[in-house]
Amino acid sequence: MLTAGKCMNKKPLLVVLFLAVMWSCTPDYYDQVFQIAREAGIPLIQVAYTKGDTRVTYEVSTVPEIVARKDGKTVFQAASLSKPVFAYIVMRMSDRGEIDLDRPLFEYTDIERFVDKELARRLTARMVLSHMTGLPNWAVSPGSPEWPEAAIVFKFRPDSAFSYSGEGYAFLQRAVEQIQGKGLEEIARNEVFLPLGMSSSSYTWRDDYDSLAVNGFNRDGEDRGKGNFPRANPAYTLRTTAADYMRFLEALSLGTGLGKESREAIFAPLVQAVRYEGKPRECDQRIFWGLGVGIEKHPELGEVAFHWGDNGAFRSLFLVVPKRGLQPQRILIYFTNSQAGHDIIHEISSLFLDNKEPIAIHEWVYKNE
């Protein structure tokens, strides 16, 4: 069991001996990132940030049991940050005419698992990417032996309301694999990882992850292991680093490898994202969804694209802040190996973005267990 954060002695320590490795960064940011992570009880955090031509990257450990790597290549579970990478693949396929975003997906793959076949025949890639399928997040746990055959029951009629769904992404995965005649990992490697130089990233386990992948921890500091996924899934099984994922976010924001209309469609707010059915909150009024990413309409920062990741003991977030006035585009991403990883959204975003008005994303994402 670790003794980070709230469980640690707050007296001055020679923490620098076991803290972290930092490269291309400022001392002030480093110290504050450490303090934020330590106070939250987060054992290890990776942060990458770009502002115009400025790039800073950190890997910070707050406990002696975990040593930050000098090369910054510790690999984290990306959780739902897996989804925007897959959305990018689908949009590239759309540009090439391989998939029609508005063509029913049953024309590409089977709908055997759906209880209501009539509603299933209405599902399209556009609905999946904007979370308008009406499907639950999962029929059953996607890591369970039962999941591949589990019956899928709709929560809403398709295209009627926002309903965040990993099940929808898995359905679209089957269509994409059928179209390309390849598995998800091979497709992602050809479409994203190799072209963008994401050498540490994979939807499946790699041999080098035995030494590179970090273990995750719950709020009590209990080791939950590295995690084992029985199959590649575009909704949650990506493993990567902050530096790798920053390469993807820079490409996505610039529209690299995408047509102009596809790039614009990804970042265009399509639907208001009320996260909890029947329980609208004030923060929901500022949160929308495009094709693969969330968008907050923020009074200071503009339309901030984001996505969060939550695999229990691994939590993460990215923010893409558009150019506004004299401010260049800014991108922030962090990965943690802790169930407390979303506790720090407000602190980390304010540190790097210097916004006076808190981002609604913190309240929208954060759940205090």
Kindly write down the DSSP assignment for every residue of 160-207, as one continuous string: SS----HHHHHHHHHHHHHHHTS-HHHHHIIIIIHHHT-TT-BSS--T
Q: Span 220-247, mean pLDDT? A: 97
Cβ neighbors of 11 (< 8 A, separation 6 or more) are none
Q: Are 312 and 224 in contact (CB under 8 A)?
A: yes
The pTM assigned to this predicted structure is 0.93
pLDDT tens profile 48-75: 999 988 999 999 999 999 999 988 899 9
Minimum mean pLDDT range among 15-29, 281-295, 301-315, 349-363: 15-29
CA-CA distances (angstroms) from residue 276 to 136, 251, 272? Answer: 12, 32, 12
CA distance 27 to 18: 16
For residues 165-192, one letter each, b for 16 or more C-beta atoms within 10 angstroms of the residue's C-beta and e for the rest, the string is bbbbbbbbbbbbbeebeeebeebbbebb
- Region class of 198: left (phi > 0), else alpha (psi between -120 and 50), else beta: beta
Residue type, 182: K
At residue 70, the 3 state secondary structure works out as coil
Q: So what's the pLDDT on residue 129?
A: 98
Minimum mean pLDDT range among 28-37, 82-91, 307-316: 28-37
Length of the chain (residues): 369
More confident of the two residues 12 and 361: 361
**β-pair partners for 46:** 59, 335
Q: How far is CA 175 from the centre of its chain?
A: 22
Q: So what's the pLDDT on residue 266?
A: 98
Minimum mean pLDDT range among 10-14, 20-24, 277-281: 10-14
pLDDT band at 7 (very low <50, low <70, confident <90, very high): very low
pLDDT tens profile 314-362: 999 999 999 988 899 999 999 999 999 999 999 999 999 999 999 999 9
Of 126, 84, 91, 86, nearest to 105 (Cα)?
Answer: 126
Q: So what's the pLDDT on residue 279?
A: 87
| For residue 1, pLDDT beyond 70 | no
